[in-house]
Amino acid sequence: MRFIAGGSIGTREKSFPRHLRLAKIPQQNAALWSPPPVPDDPSPADLDTLWRNAQECLRGSVPESTFRLWLEPLKAVGADVDTLYLEAPEGIRAWAERRYSGLISQALEAGGTGLTRISFAAPRDAAGLTSPGPELNPSYTFDRFVIGPGNRLAHGAALAVAEAPSEAYNPLFLHGPPGLGKTHLLAAIANYLHDNAPGLSLRYTTAESFTNEFVGALKSTGADAFKARYRDIDVLLIDDVQFLEGKPATEEEFFHTFNALYESGSQLVLSADRIPSELSTLASRLRDRFEWGLTVPVEPPDLATRLVFLGNLASEQTEQLPPDALRALASKASANLRVLKGALTRVVALSSLTASAVTPDSVEQAVPSDEISPPPPEHPEPRQVQEAVAARVGLSVDDILSPTRTAPVARARQLAMYLTRALTDLSLPQIAEAFNRRDHTTVMHAIRRVESGALEDASISRAVEELTTQLQSGTGMDRDRTD
């Protein structure tokens, strides 16, 4: 298995999923297939000879025209255990895979090669397939995921996708605040497929890594190599897609990647910190696609779930914490499990350094009340957004709020409305009122104009990104800036 870390919708006939060439993925805890001993790795010359012999056998099994069109272009690129890895030109792979996989396997068996399976995924260690990206945590498995009322549906959906990619929910979109287990579930899917479906080609990454890799490809190897890495796979799992906001060039590339994978029957799993409709600075066509499959929330854990989570962590650290101390820590009501894990580490460290038992009092000493419950995020006021935009373009707030429709004022007003929608919880009518407008459709029009403009004009995209960072960080306004 290759593993790399790093139109309209309606009634239509879906493409035949590539993964259906494989045997059914075993259910969790089922006995797994045990491969035969690994044969000696063939040299490139031996590999070419092996494949030529298999092709001669295939030539006698199909009409000459069929052989020349679908089988002759295939090339052997590696072998691993009992699997021969083949490479195929674009447009040939899916058909050859679907129609002739069995025939090719028979030809290999007849040649006594010791290879009985084929895969069009590149060997895991093949050169040139590694790319910068997040490391997959092998401890993130379904067995280690603590199930509670807030994440039961998300866990079930993720497991269904792992057991039957593209057959259950596609795409699967998980959303919720940070630290609730979305990354764990994405990694659990990847780890499950890695162990139980070695013939699937899979890529796990984050939106940030996707962006960095895309930008790097444009500067070095070119977009074609990047597209080949992301569009010719069976499963794509991408975390934190909200980070695509404000990056129109990357959004455009991801839009086409999404379409290519979906149309070919590949499985997509996505996560974000909010539902697709609230990713307001993403292009609407991308938000719509995120909702084509199943959208599932991952909600904060209740007290019982936090208790189990902390108890499991303590057991793994060989720490036997008394129930009252665990309850005292769990009762601090942090919604973020990563923060809760850090709090447990502090409690255990204090106990070790002072050679004292862990008690409710020591928990309070290590983690004062409410310290691990992060404050709710602060949103900028509409006036702050208006001031920031006005300062950037060299206008006054009064200009933005006026009925003036000259092009510079209208563009600034639209940008301010767009950012207000993206960075606050205000409804469209409330935003219209904040800008002295009677009709909220004016705000809708402004949002559409900025979205479409950002795709065509890099300066608009840059302004959105920089103003968003400025307003979210609460930094001061540079009122002399006029670019």
Angstrom CA distances, 57 to 20, 26, 60, stand at 25, 33, 6
CB 468 within 8 A of CB 246: yes
CATH code, residues 44-113? 3.30.300.180
Q: In terms of C-beta density within 10 A (0-12 exposed, 13-18 middle, 19 or more buried), how is residue 215 classed?
A: middle
CATH class of 152-297: alpha beta
The rounded distance, in Å, linking the Cα atoms of 168 and 171 is: 9
Angstrom CA distances, 159 to 172, 189, 198, 261, stand at 11, 7, 17, 20
The rounded distance, in Å, linking the Cα atoms of 415 and 5 is: 36
For 69-125, what is each residue's pLDDT tens digit? 778 888 887 776 677 888 776 556 767 777 788 888 888 888 777 787 887 754 433
Count the neighbouring beta carbons within 10 Å of the beta carbon of residue 36.
9
The rounded distance, in Å, linking the Cα atoms of 414 and 437 is: 12
CB 237 within 8 A of CB 203: yes
The rounded distance, in Å, linking the Cα atoms of 430 and 424 is: 11
Count the neighbouring beta carbons within 10 Å of the beta carbon of residue 39.
13
The model scores a pTM over 0.85: no
Angstrom CA distances, 197 to 81, 125, 152, stand at 14, 17, 24
Tell me the β-bridge partners of 84: 79, 118
The rounded distance, in Å, linking the Cα atoms of 245 and 254 is: 12
From first to last of its 483 residues, what are the pLDDT tens digits of the chain? 444 444 333 333 344 444 443 334 444 433 333 333 334 455 566 778 888 888 888 888 888 767 877 788 888 877 766 778 887 765 567 677 777 888 888 888 887 777 878 877 544 333 333 344 556 778 889 988 988 888 899 999 999 999 989 887 889 999 988 888 899 999 999 999 988 887 888 889 888 888 888 887 777 766 777 887 888 889 999 999 888 887 888 888 888 889 999 988 899 999 998 888 777 667 778 788 888 889 999 888 888 888 888 888 777 765 677 788 878 888 775 667 777 777 787 777 777 777 777 877 877 777 766 555 544 456 789 999 999 999 999 999 999 999 998 999 999 999 999 999 888 878 888 899 999 998 888 888 888 888 777 767 778 878 887 888 888 766 544 433 333
Q: The tokens 């699967």 sit on which residue?
A: 172
Q: In what order do the strands lie in the sheet with 117-119?
A: 75-80, 83-87, 117-119
**382-473 fold:** Chromosomal Replication Initiator Protein Dnaa; Chain: A; (1.10.1750)
Return the DSSP state at 70.
I
The rounded distance, in Å, linking the Cα atoms of 189 and 162 is: 5
Closest CA to 315 of 326, 304, 301: 326
For 410-468, what is each residue's pLDDT tens digit? 999 999 999 998 888 788 888 999 999 988 888 888 888 887 777 677 788 788 878 88
Q: At what angle do helices 382-393 and 458-473 cross, to 10 degrees?
A: 130
**Residue ranges of domains in the chain:** 44-113, 152-297, 303-366, 382-473
Instruction: List all residues 6 or more positions away from 185 whose beta carbon is below 8 Å from its beta carbon.
Output: 145, 154, 155, 158, 174, 271, 298
- What 3-state class would DSSP assign to 477? coil
The rounded distance, in Å, linking the Cα atoms of 419 and 422 is: 5
CATH code, residues 303-366? 1.10.8
The rounded distance, in Å, linking the Cα atoms of 182 and 426 is: 27
Count, in order, helices (H) and strands (E) of the chain. Answer: 19, 9
- Residue 418 phi, psi dihedral angles, 5° rounding: -60, -50
Q: Using alpha carbons only, what angle is made at residue 80 by residues 76 and 83, rounded to the nearest 5 degrees? A: 65
Asked whether the bond before 171 is cis by omega within 30 degrees of 0, the reply is yes
